[in-house]
Amino acid sequence: MLIIGRLMIGVYTSIGTSLMPIFIQELAPPNIKGALSCFVHIAVCGGSALGAILSIDFILGNKHTWHILLALPAIFGFAQVILGIMLPDSPNHLLDSGDKRSAIRSIKFYYCFQNFDDDVAIQEYQQLVTHLPKQISVSKAFKEPKTRKGILLGMVVSFTQVFCGSMATVAYSTAMFTSVSFTKVLVPYMPALGSLFSILLTLPALRLVETCGRKPLLINTLILCALANFMLMGFSLVSQQLGVTWSSIGFTLAFFIFGLGYNLGTGPVSYFIPAELVRPEAAGVSLGCAVAVNWLSAMITTLIYYPLNVQVGGYSYLLFAIPTVWNIRIVKKKYCTGTKDSNISTYHCIETQQYEEDRAIKFDFIQRWSAVVMHKLQSFFVNDQKYAKFSL
């Protein structure tokens, strides 16, 4: 029964993750669409934080109360069903279905056009929100070369969201900090603290995602994630081989850098960018494929990371560092910049080339800072090894 229930939750979560960005596209004005989409990531972090807090041993995470903890998602599920019934469908869908009366009620519910006449309310809504056309089939989407390239790039971004190390840090954060001799009193609280920390770090992304451009934000935050993974590997190896106590502080710093990179861009952007890389008619197909890749990647990393960490120790972080570096190259090469030589057609472009260049300048400090830190760490580790050999 537990396995069947878990499968049902997985099906619901996959459908919800695919539909939420489409629902936001049908409701949000273009200038705040990215910011509203970031709330999906904030909600995920909030749910993770609540689960981590309730899972603490002296709350509901012990052998006497675990069944209550297991039943709580059902309560939240019933609440979602009730709220879903009360929540109107999107005006776009209702107008396409010919239900004008329900569409007007929906418009007045979401946009507070209470003082407008019905026809004026519909006109204001259509000027405010971009119409999302009827979705095409999977086979038709993949038959179109340009659409197929956009879908594949969206799948790469979704793959990167997981293989940068996000799922492993959520599932095995306690084991990670235990392996580097972190303060034992704080280790059980790391999942909850990490999730709350993620919510705070995502708040700046609400503005960055609209002002800095999708591509530079994604690439530069992926660079931070790659840097953090190499640092996690380095400090883990130092702790395991030399047993120095300062390595736990360095590990915590690396964990902070990873959280910064993931929550400022890589995490929230990956939820909605697949829909923006294809023409509007293929948004549903692109999101569905991206979610499928995301869940498959999450399953693989969750299964592989822990036994790999037990066998090879700190080198297990290469499981995340190498794919992240590889995917940075793919995103930089394949992501449309508005030039006629781009591998993706114009309707896949999020920014023009000049816009990308202007925003990239603002983020260049991250790349320079990353290079300096990596150089300092490399020099430090070389000197530390020489000192260790001399001492022996």
Quick one: 97 and 142 in the same domain? no
315 lies in some domain: yes
351 lies in some domain: yes
Do 52 and 61 form a contact (C-beta atoms < 8 A)? no
Q: How confident is the model at residue 189 (pLDDT cuts 50, 70, 90)?
A: confident
- Residue of 284, 266, 259 whose CA lies nearest to 274: 284
Q: How confident is the model at residue 121 (pLDDT cuts 50, 70, 90)?
A: confident
Quick one: 201 and 183 in the same domain? yes
Quick one: 146 and 225 in the same domain? yes
Q: What is the mean pLDDT of residues 230-241?
A: 85
Counting beta carbons within 10 angstroms of the beta carbon of residue 196, is it exposed (0 to 12), middle (13 to 18) or buried (19 or more)? middle
Q: Is the pLDDT of residue 354 over 70?
A: no
Query: What is residue 220's predicted lDDT score, i.e. its pLDDT?
Result: 93
Quick one: 121 and 211 in the same domain? no
| Structure confidence by residue, pLDDT tens digits, 43-86 | 888 888 888 888 888 888 888 888 888 888 888 889 988 988 88
Which stretches of 33-171 are DSSP H helices?
33-54, 66-86, 91-96, 100-111, 118-128, 138-143, 145-163, 166-171
25 lies in some domain: no
More confident residue, 389 or 184: 184
151 lies in some domain: yes
| Structure confidence by residue, pLDDT tens digits, 276-328 | 899 989 988 999 899 889 889 988 988 898 889 889 888 999 999 999 999 99
The CATH number linked to 213 is 1.20.1250.20
More confident residue, 171 or 382: 171
Quick one: 238 and 381 in the same domain? yes
Q: How confident is the model at residue 355 (pLDDT cuts 50, 70, 90)?
A: very low
Q: Is the pLDDT of residue 180 over 60?
A: no
Q: What is the mean pLDDT of residues 222-246?
A: 85
Query: What single-letter amino acid sits at 8?
Result: M
Q: How confident is the model at residue 102 (pLDDT cuts 50, 70, 90)?
A: very high
66 lies in some domain: no
Q: Is the pLDDT of residue 222 over 90?
A: yes
More confident residue, 81 or 369: 81
Q: Is the pLDDT of residue 230 over 60?
A: yes
The domain boundary residue, chosen from 128, 149, 179: 128
Quick one: 198 and 171 in the same domain? yes
| Structure confidence by residue, pLDDT tens digits, 10-41 | 788 878 877 888 888 888 887 788 888 888 88
Range name among 34-38, 98-102, 167-171, 386-390 with the lowest pLDDT average: 386-390
Quick one: 189 and 109 in the same domain? no
The domain boundary residue, chosen from 102, 128, 154: 128
Q: What is the C-alpha to C-alpha distance for residues 374 and 371, in angstroms, rounded to an integer?
A: 5
Quick one: 104 and 199 in the same domain? no
307 lies in some domain: yes
Quick one: 346 and 372 in the same domain? yes
Query: What is residue 36's predicted lDDT score, i.e. its pLDDT?
Result: 85
More confident residue, 189 or 40: 40
58 lies in some domain: no
Quick one: 159 and 112 in the same domain? no
Buried b / exposed e along 72-96 (16+ C-beta atoms within 10 A): eeeeeeeeeeeeeeeeeebbbbbbe
Query: What is residue 132's predicted lDDT score, i.e. its pLDDT?
Result: 76
348 lies in some domain: yes
Do 256 and 193 form a contact (C-beta atoms < 8 A)? no
Q: Enter the tokens of residue 220.
A: 């530069």
Quick one: 243 and 374 in the same domain? yes
Q: Is the pLDDT of residue 104 over 70?
A: yes
Q: Is the pLDDT of residue 372 over 70?
A: no
Q: Is the pLDDT of residue 142 over 80?
A: yes
- Structural domain count, the chain: 2
Q: What is the mean pLDDT of residues 84-105?
A: 89
Query: What is residue 151's predicted lDDT score, i.e. its pLDDT?
Result: 94
Quick one: 206 and 305 in the same domain? yes
Residue 118 is part of which domain span?
93-128
Q: What is the C-alpha to C-alpha distance for residues 154 and 51, in angstroms, rounded to an integer?
A: 29
